[in-house]
Amino acid sequence: MPMGMVRNVKLARNGDILIASFLGVFRYHGTSFTNLTGKIISPRFSSFWDVLEDRKGNLWFASLNSGVYYYNGKSFQHFTTKDGLASNFVGFIHEDKAGTIWFSTGGGLSRYDGKSFRNFTTKDGLPNNGVRAIMEDKTGKLWIATGDGPCFYDGKTFTVLKNKDGKGFKNVWSIIEDKKGNIWTTGSVNPNNVGAWALSRYDHKSLYNKKPTVTEIMSGPPAFLGLLEANDGSIWFGSAGGVYRYNGKTITDFKSKEGQK
């Protein structure tokens, strides 16, 4: 069982749990843990941030400073900046509907088509080279959370979204699409005020207009981080102050006795 910091948890196609941690990438079979990266790096030096099983059953491992590892079940392949990756600091992996693999890195957005990498940076329209998360919406557009706000990529250009006051976001950490097609983000609004964080929702009907309708659901502090839509449609979000739930009307922080019921 991994006892170090766990950065991400994913579900394998067969139902196993895949765990990316600072002691390696582990597979939980339901009764025991297997270290999938023990043969390529010692737990003493491993620091993995994400894991992905692609549609072909191959595994991808994102690391803090060692690039990306690819495992086809028999052998490993290691990709770094020498192979075209934008940065060796890789935080998140996404496979799009076409089977292309995308990587969020500290040096921009990297795309791997199975043969080579193509990198996107601020020179291509990305608002910031520090990419935190990637998400693909129902229309096939790619949404990217960066250090200078959320944006989407339609295959040709990047479009940056603003907050309700028309200002840019900073430190956007998560981005999801709900069942209705609305886009949710967490991030800080004012770079000069570290406490100015917000949970925001962009309305799906105006999403691709020049000025989409955005609603600020909650402002902080504390910092707002991870996002999830539950089966009942409620939005859960993590923060420096714990976990919150928004059911469309009220926000529950689960700190009070009332919230814990």
Chain segment 46-74, per-residue pLDDT in tens: 689 999 999 999 999 999 889 999 999 89
Token pair in block for residue 138: 């129902």
Query: What's residue 44's pLDDT?
Result: 66
Residue ranges per structural domain of the chain: 122-261
Answer whether 215's CB lies under 8 Å from 208's CB.
Answer: no
Query: What's residue 259's pLDDT?
Result: 52
Task: For domain 122-261, give its CATH number from 2.40.30.10, 2.130.10.10, 3.40.1520.20, 3.30.365.10.
Answer: 2.130.10.10
pLDDT tens per residue, range 195-247: 578 888 999 998 888 788 888 898 877 778 788 898 899 999 887 778 889 99
Query: What's residue 158's pLDDT?
Result: 94
Spatial CB neighbours of 73, under 8 Å, sequence gap ≥ 6: 57, 58, 59
For residue 150, cis peptide bond before it (omega within 30 degrees of 0):
no
Query: What's residue 67's pLDDT?
Result: 94
Report the predicted TM-score, pTM, of the whole model to 2 decimal places: 0.81
Answer whether 121's CB lies under 8 Å from 108's CB.
Answer: yes
Residues 24-42 have a mean pLDDT of: 86
Using CA atoms, how far residue 37 sits from 12, 25, 71, 175, in Å, is: 16, 6, 9, 29
